[in-house]
């Protein structure tokens, strides 16, 4: 009997894990944006400065495609915040992925955050060749409505480059471990009664 209960628990954990794949809730590769200096964006509000939309054939710095220079051409680095607003609950898990590079040789800091979680990426002095990719897994620390933001620290018209932003919700397994614990406790109680 105990073997059957444990087998059912393992099956439930397997089903819970299979059903808990990450769900993309926001993504933007900026390919629909028009090139321009000190430009607005389709999916983001630009505040606290300006950004440039650059890429293939227009200030192509880090390779082909369309991407953002987070320090626009006004010597006032930009902050972008998603126009979409998301309902979050403290303790929910998320994954943020993006590509970054650097325009110019000065040191830069690219800050970002979502759901009360914030982090930053220091880009040392010197040029980066092309883009690098990063993924951050984190837990929301606030409950309510929130947006994703990115912000550059510079002010010299050459900033962090940003592309391929993706934010995913990562659901926790559907109670599989609790089920195994409960089944084991029931088996122990039954064994005790039979003794």
| Residue 62 burial by Cβ neighbours in a 10 Å radius (0-12, 13-18, 19+) | buried
pLDDT at 177: 44
Average pLDDT, the chain: 83
User: What are the extents of the domains in the chain?
Assistant: 1-20+173-195, 21-171
pTM of the predicted model, to two decimals?
0.78
pLDDT for 184: 55
Q: What fold, for 21-171?
A: Jelly Rolls (2.60.120)
Strand partners, 30: none
How many CB atoms are located within 10 Å of the residue 24 CB? 11
Shortest CA distance to 30 belongs to which of 63, 9, 3, 55?
A: 55
Q: Which range among 4-18, 84-98, 148-162 has the greatest average pLDDT?
A: 84-98
What does the pLDDT look like over 28-67, one tens digit per residue? Answer: 999 999 999 988 899 999 988 999 999 999 998 888 899 9
Give Cα separations from 185 to 5, 13, 22, 180 (angstroms): 10, 17, 31, 9
| Per-residue pLDDT, 95 | 98
The pLDDT, as a whole number, for residue 108 is 87
Residue 13 confidence (pLDDT): 42
List, for residues 92-127, the tens digit of each pLDDT value: 999 999 999 998 888 889 999 999 999 999 988 776
Reported residue count of the chain is: 195
Across 4-8, 19-23, 68-72, 157-161, least confident range: 4-8
Ramachandran assignment for 49, one of left (phi > 0), alpha (psi -120 to 50 degrees), beta (any other): left
**Residue 158 Cα distances to 66, 68, 70, 109, 149, angstroms:** 16, 11, 8, 12, 19
Cβ–Cβ under 8 Å, residues 166 and 124: no
**Distance separating alpha carbons of residues 88 and 62, to the nearest angstrom:** 34
Residue 176 has pLDDT above 90, yes or no: no
What residue ranges in the chain does DSSP mark as E strands? 23-28, 44-47, 52-55, 66-69, 79-82, 86-88, 93-102, 108-114, 117-123, 132-139, 144-146, 149-152, 160-170
Residues 5-14: what's their mean pLDDT?
A: 41
């Amino acid at each position: 009997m105990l073997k059957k209960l444990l087998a059912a628990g393992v099956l439930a954990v397997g089903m819970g894990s299979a059903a808990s794949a990450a769900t993309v809730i926001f993504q933007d590769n900026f390919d629909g944006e028009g090139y321009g200096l000190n430009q607005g964006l389709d999916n983001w509000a630009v505040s606290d400065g300006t950004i440039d939309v650059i890429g293939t054939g227009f200030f192509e710095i880090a390779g082909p495609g369309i991407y953002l220079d987070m320090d626009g051409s006004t010597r006032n680095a930009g902050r972008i915040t998603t126009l979409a607003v998301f309902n979050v609950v403290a303790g929910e898990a998320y994954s943020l992925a993006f590509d970054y590079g650097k325009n110019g040789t000065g040191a830069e800091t690219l800050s970002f955050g979502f759901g009360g979680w914030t982090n930053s990426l220091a880009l040392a002095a010197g040029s980066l060749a092309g883009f690098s990719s990063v993924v951050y897994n984190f837990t929301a620390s606030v409950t309510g409505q929130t947006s994703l933001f990115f912000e550059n620290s510079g002010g010299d018209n050459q900033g962090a480059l940003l592309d391929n932003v993706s934010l995913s919700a990562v659901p926790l397994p559907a109670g599989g471990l609790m089920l195994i614990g409960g089944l084991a406790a029931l088996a122990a109680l039954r064994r005790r009664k039979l003794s």
